[in-house]
């Protein structure tokens, strides 16, 4: 897939920074972190066989750069954290390094296609001039650009069809399988790359498509205020619904783009479970072991 170079650099810059406070909308699975965005326990989700994911073992969130002492204690005590999986590329991780928690192993697996990361690196001198405190202004400007809109729609397909991303997501699944205690995975905001990681975990555990989609879409509750504010600005500037959809995809998540990419996986690879087994290399035996480890009777 081809991406216009400046647009992808700006989009990746936007992915690296949050757009407001770290207050997470409260849902039944939300974790009340002080300094970590979009955190939630995967526990309690019901699989197709009627079993449920154990609570306090699998956590998805935004990055841990602003995790407080209380957050670190919560992760260790309530979520038994031993393993963190970071899907950011190097520049992202260096810009906002995770807080190091004693006794926790950190694994970096950049699940963006390498060509996109290289495009960002090639233009860092340009993007360094962007005032990251006003990332909303950058996004509202990009929102009305057809190339940027197309790029946002193509991002998920680019991730799931990329061989390196597939390999790293497979390594992630095996890391979760063999973790000594609880696992947490994140990207910058815990919504796109971390959202796909959650989808793959859920597929391996035997979740239905509805459960997978609803979990992915739940990130929109965390970023609803930011999405609403920027969408209003786009409309005030004469932006159409395509422009608003761009804001939804970049600041929250696009359920439509996610479902279309699931359809692409069905068409290209047979099904999401087949993709997990064949493209991610996470075998049926490993899936059975994962279910034994993380599922319990309802």
Kindly report the CATH number assigned to the domain that includes residue 263.
Answer: 3.90.190.10
Structure tokens at 216: 């992915």
| 35: nearest Cα among 86, 78, 74, 80 | 74
> Considering its fold, how many domains does the chain have in total?
1
| 262: nearest Cα among 211, 186, 222, 221 | 211
HEC sequence for 29-41: CECCCCCCCCCEE
Whether pLDDT at 132 is above 60: no
Cα 253 from chain centroid (whole Å): 9
Whether pLDDT at 209 is above 70: yes
Eight-state DSSP code of residue 113: -
The rounded distance, in Å, linking the Cα atoms of 13 and 253 is 16
Banded pLDDT at 253 (limits 50, 70, 90): very high
Confidence (pLDDT) at 143: 87
Q: Which long-range contacts (CB under 8 A, 24 or more apart) does 127-132 make?
A: 127/9, 127/10, 127/12, 127/13, 130/10, 130/13, 132/13, 132/16, 132/17
| 147: nearest Cα among 1, 46, 3 | 3
Residue 192's alpha-carbon distances to 28, 40, 104, 270, 280, in angstroms, are 21, 14, 24, 22, 18
pTM equals 0.91
Three-class secondary structure of residue 105 per DSSP: strand
Confidence (pLDDT) at 214: 97
Domain that holds residue 106: 5-296
pLDDT tens digits for range 25-58: 444 689 999 999 999 999 999 999 999 999 999 9
pLDDT tens digits for range 56-75: 999 999 999 999 999 999 99
Confidence (pLDDT) at 8: 62
Confidence (pLDDT) at 26: 41
The rounded distance, in Å, linking the Cα atoms of 53 and 59 is 11
Give just the sign of the alpha carbon dihedral 128, 130, 134, 140. negative
Confidence (pLDDT) at 191: 95
The rounded distance, in Å, linking the Cα atoms of 13 and 105 is 27
Angle of helix 146-161 relative to helix 5-16, nearest 10 degrees? Answer: 70
């Amino acid at each position: 897939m081809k991406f216009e170079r400046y647009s992808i650099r700006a989009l990746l810059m936007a992915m690296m920074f949050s757009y407001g406070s770290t207050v997470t909308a409260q849902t039944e699975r939300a974790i009340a972190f002080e300094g970590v965005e979009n955190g939630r326990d995967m526990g309690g989700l019901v699989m197709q066989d009627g079993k449920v994911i154990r609570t306090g073992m699998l956590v998805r969130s935004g990055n841990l750069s602003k995790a407080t002492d209380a957050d670190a204690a919560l992760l260790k005590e309530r979520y038994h954290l031993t393993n963190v999986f970071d899907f950011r590329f190097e520049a992202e991780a260096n810009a906002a390094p995770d807080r190091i928690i004693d006794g926790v192993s950190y694994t970096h697996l950049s699940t963006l296609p390498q060509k996109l990361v290289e495009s960002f690196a090639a233009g860092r001198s340009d993007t360094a001039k962007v005032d990251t405190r006003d990332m909303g202004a950058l996004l509202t400007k990009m929102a009305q650009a057809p190339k940027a809109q197309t790029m946002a729609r193509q991002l998920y397909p680019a991730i799931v069809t990329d061989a390196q991303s597939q390999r790293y997501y497979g390594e992630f699944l095996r890391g979760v399988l063999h973790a000594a205690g609880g696992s947490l995975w994140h990207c910058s905001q815990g919504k796109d790359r971390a959202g796909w990681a959650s989808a793959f975990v859920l597929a391996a555990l035997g979740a239905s498509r509805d459960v997978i989609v609803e979990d992915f879409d739940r990130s929109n509750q965390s970023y609803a205020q930011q999405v609403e504010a920027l969408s209003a600005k786009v409309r005030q500037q004469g932006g159409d619904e395509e422009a608003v959809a761009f804001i939804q995809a970049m600041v929250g998540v696009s359920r439509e783009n996610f479902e279309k990419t699931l359809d692409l996986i069905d068409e290209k690879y047979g099904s999401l479970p087949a993709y997990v087994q064949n493209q991610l290399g996470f075998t049926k035996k490993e899936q059975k072991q994962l279910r034994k480890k993380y599922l319990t009777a309802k």
